[in-house]
Structure formats: structure tokens, C-alpha cells
């Protein structure tokens, strides 16, 4: 049996965790750069706000209605997420972490078991021990478990596929809300008279294969109670992306160099934290498509002679690719680094002609770098170009720096931010 568990309005719940004054008050969490609303609690939804609302457009409304706004604090959310997952593990050894706030639990098929009782217990424990409300959907397939999870929010927290009127439920469930049916597929299906999850369940498999590809076939099977989407055991990730929109327009190469250096450091940190080395690097550079002015976007990719996790080499390559694609005279909005072709970083193929002394020196340098940054905080030591061209004389505003005007403290991961009991 599969449980799909997720945190209700997860980011907003995390923000409320250490702010009892926000309990049952409307809270909205903004994306990086304070651009759009990415999470909001029920109270905020009731006021008519939606995920994806552009902050600067709804700001006045938000202020008038007394909504508390938070910049996203991923360090906090990741920590709460880890706590939830370790709790799930106490209930079930097989947990697939699907996203920061969603997990699938694969429970053995016991006979005569009331799974919803287990689910209520899980929900109650999460609320008591972690302080975050979760909802649980119970079904024989992932797609149905996700569907039940959505219903669970109406049923007070738990929904068991075995205990509801299934056909009736599917007939009232819009096809576009089914997991795996996005914008494009919804458009196609509606044109062909498939409007509900029930219609999709009855859609012939050969048509599904032809029109919705193998992905759609799996969805149809799952709606019919046949598990077709496997549990994912991912050993390593495929790629690392690090990109950010600038809060202001950026025109100069040195500012791009500066920001790209920061993103490269962050990307390499993730690479090293996961014990990986990368074979390819891609740099993207683009203007703002919403702008009226001239648009430019370009990318460049190169392969390293062998997989690497050595920051200086990766940074030199990143900056050289940036210089290749940079053109004067544009108002840039975003620069992005993408690392791919992952290999195991600790167990790389040795080069017959490799200078092992040099290799050891590099390894020691990087170990030292990691150590300092892990111990004293990110950015304690960094590469030369990072954070330099920072727009001095500009009232301290760095045009490429991310906006996070409403950031909450790192309650659980920074000693000085831990709440005090007085």
C-alpha cells in the first residue's frame, strides 16, 4: 500500500512554526528575488491570493488585507523536511522523498490492516513532534495516492482510496489535476471530450500511447489501480543548476563575472557535498523576456578533459564560456551555470600520465576550502572575483544580488537564531 504524505502549505507552515503570533493568520511566502508567491496558507487563499501571483502587482492588496509576507528560507524548510522524513521512516522503512514537502511511503501489504488508522497516527505524531500539519493519501498506486492526498485536505487530513466512492470521486476530479497531466495534455484531452479523471481512466491504452506517450499510458494504468510508476532509487543526480534573476538590470561583464563566480561556487559546493564530479559545464546568459528592449540569449557548453570537482578549473571554464557569449549593450536579467555528466567524485578513473603530486595538492586545497566554509559559514573563503564588482557608490545596492526583504531567521540551523525561552 502506498501513502502519499505532504506538508500542508508547507513553506507557510514552516514560517509559522516559530511565530505563534501567526497562527491562523494569512501568510504568503515569496520566491527567490521576492518575485511571485510560491506558497500560501489557507487563510491567505481565502483572501483570494494564488500561487504564482506577482508580488509587486498584489503588494498593495496584501498590505491592506494584513497578510504576513516572507522571503523563502530554504535552509529552514530543508531542515523541517529532513525531520519529517526521519519521522516517516519510523512508520515505514521504505520512503521515497519526492520533493521538499512530499514523500511516498511503501507499506507492506498486510491483511486485515486499517491503513487509515496508521495514517491518522502518523499525522497526529507529525503535528505533535514537528509542529507541521501533514495530509495523507492512501491508495495502491502513486497517482491515486496523490489524488487521495488532495481530497484528504477536505476530509480533515487522511483519505483512503479503499473507503470512498471511487467512481464518483473520479467523475468529480478535473483531468488537469491528475498527476502527470499538465497544460499541454489537458488541452488535448479536453478537445477530445476527456474532462475528468474518470474519463481518463476509461481512455484506451493504445490511444493513450499514441497521443500521450508512455507517460500517459502509465497514468491511465495507475488510475485503474495498476502500479506503473516505480519507486525511484536514485543513486546520483543528473545535473546541478544554479541560476538567479538579477534584482536590477545588469549591463557590464564584470558584474556578470561576479555573480557567475558566486553561482559557480554554490554549484561546486553542491557537487562536492554529493561526492560527485562533473564532465560538462554549460553557461546560459539572457535578457528579460518581459522587457520591451532588445533581447539576447545564448549558451555555451564544454567538456572537461576528465570529470572534475575542482573549483578553480570549473570557475575558469565558466568565466571563459561567459566571455564567449557575452555581447555588449544588453540589459541582462539572468546568468546560469549547469553542471552535468556526473561521475562518482571519490572514485574517478586515474589518468596514466597524471601528476599525482599536483593532484594531491589540488585535493588538499579543496578540502581546506570546504572545511573553512562548512565550519565558519558559506562565503568565509571564496574565489577572487566573487562579490567584488558590487556597485559601490550605489547605496550598497548590488544590482545582481537577490532580493530577500522579508527573510525569517534560520531558527534551526544558526546558533544565534535559535529561539530563546525567556
Q: Which residues bind DNA (CB under 7 A)?
A: 31-33, 35-36, 38, 52, 54, 56, 98-102, 146, 178-186, 213-215, 232, 234, 237-245, 247-249, 270, 288, 290, 301, 333-334, 336, 402
* Neighbouring residues of 298: CB distance < 8 A, sequence distance ≥ 6: 284, 285, 286, 325, 327
CB of 275 to DNA, least distance (A): 14
Measure the CA–CA gap between 164 and 162, rounded to whole angstroms. 6
List 116's β-bridge partners, or say none: none
Q: Which is nearer to DNA, 362 or 370 (CB)?
A: 370
- Helices vs strands, H then E, count in the chain: 13, 13
CB of 361 to DNA, least distance (A): 29
Nearer to DNA (CB atom), residue 158 or residue 286? 286
Tell me the closest approach of the beta carbon of residue 215 to DNA, in angstroms: 5
For residues 56 and 350, which CB has a smaller minimum distance to DNA in the complex? 56
**What are the grid coordinates assigned to 183, written together?**
497544460
Q: Which is nearer to DNA, 155 or 280 (CB)?
A: 280
Q: Are 78 and 100 in contact (CB under 8 A)?
A: yes
- DSSP letter for 166, please: H
| DSSP-assigned beta bridge partners for residue 282 | 301, 338
Q: Least CB distance from residue 182 to DNA, whole Å?
A: 2
Report how far residue 103's alpha carbon sits from residue 236's, in angstroms, rounded to the nearest whole number: 18
| Closest separation in Å from C-beta 362 to DNA | 24
Partners of residue 265 on adjacent β-strands: none
Cβ proximity to DNA: between 91 and 98 the closer is 98
Shortest distance (Å) from residue 114 CB to DNA: 27
By beta-carbon proximity to DNA, the closer residue of 108 and 396 is: 396
Of 405, 379, 373, 400, residue with least CA distance to 389: 400
Amino acid at each position: 500500500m502506498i501513502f502519499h504524505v505532504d506538508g500542508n502549505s508547507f513553506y507557510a507552515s514552516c514560517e509559522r512554526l516559530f511565530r505563534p503570533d501567526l497562527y491562523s493568520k494569512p501568510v504568503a511566502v515569496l520566491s527567490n528575488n521576492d518575485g511571485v508567491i510560491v506558497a500560501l496558507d489557507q487563510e491567505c487563499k481565502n483572501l483570494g491570493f494564488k500561487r504564482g501571483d506577482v508580488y509587486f502587482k498584489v503588494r498593495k492588496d496584501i498590505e491592506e488585507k494584513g497578510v504576513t509576507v516572507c522571503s523563502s528560507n530554504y535552509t529552514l524548510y530543508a531542515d523541517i523536511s529532513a525531520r519529517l522524513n526521519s519521522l516517516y521512516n519510523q512508520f515505514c522503512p521504505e520512503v521515497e522523498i519526492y520533493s521538499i514537502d512530499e514523500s511516498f511511503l511503501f507499506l507492506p501489504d498486510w491483511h486485515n490492516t486499517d491503513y487509515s488508522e496508521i495514517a491518522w497516527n502518523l499525522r497526529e505524531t507529525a503535528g505533535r513532534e514537528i509542529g507541521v500539519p501533514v495530509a495523507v493519501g492512501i491508495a495502491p498506486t502513486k497517482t491515486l495516492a496523490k489524488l487521495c492526498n488532495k481530497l484528504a485536505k477536505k476530509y480533515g487530513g487522511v483519505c483512503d482510496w479503499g473507503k470512498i466512492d471511487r467512481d464518483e470521486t473520479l467523475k468529480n476530479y478535473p483531468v488537469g489535476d491528475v498527476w502527470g497531466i499538465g497544460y499541454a495534455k489537458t488541452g488535448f484531452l479536453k478537445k477530445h471530450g476527456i474532462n475528468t479523471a474518470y474519463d481518463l481512466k476509461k481512455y484506451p491504452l493504445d490511444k493513450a500511447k499514441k497521443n500521450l506517450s508512455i507517460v500517459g499510458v502509465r497514468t491511465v494504468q495507475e488510475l485503474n489501480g495498476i502500479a506503473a510508476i516505480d519507486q525511484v532509487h536514485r543513486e546520483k543526480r543528473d545535473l546541478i543548476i544554479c541560476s538567479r534573476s538579477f534584482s536590477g538590470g545588469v549591463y557590464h561583464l564584470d558584474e556578470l563575472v561576479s555573480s557567475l563566480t558566486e553561482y559557480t561556487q554554490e554549484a561546486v559546493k553542491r557537487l562536492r557535498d554529493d561526492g560527485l564530479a562533473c564532465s560538462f559545464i554549460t553557461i546560459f546568459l539572457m535578457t528579460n523576456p518581459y522587457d520591451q528592449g532588445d533581447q539576447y540569449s545564448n549558451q555555451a557548453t564544454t567538456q572537461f578533459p576528465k570529470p572534475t570537482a575542482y573549483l578553480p578549473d570549473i570557475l575558469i571554464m565558466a568565466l571563459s564560456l561567459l566571455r564567449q557569449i557575452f555581447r555588449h549593450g544588453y540589459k541582462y536579467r539572468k546568468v546560469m551555470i549547469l553542471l552535468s555528466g556526473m561521475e562518482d567524485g571519490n572514485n574517478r578513473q586515474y589518468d596514466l600520465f597524471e601528476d599525482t603530486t599536483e593532484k594531491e595538492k589540488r585535493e588538499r586545497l579543496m578540502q581546506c576550502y570546504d572545511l573553512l566554509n562548512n565550519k565558519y559559514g558559506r562565503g568565509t573563503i571564496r574565489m577572487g572575483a566573487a562579490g567584488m564588482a558590487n556597485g559601490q557608490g550605489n547605496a550598497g545596492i548590488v544590482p545582481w544580488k537577490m532580493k530577500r526583504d522579508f527573510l525569517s531567521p534560520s531558527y534551526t540551523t544558526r546558533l544565534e537564531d535559535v529561539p530563546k525561552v525567556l
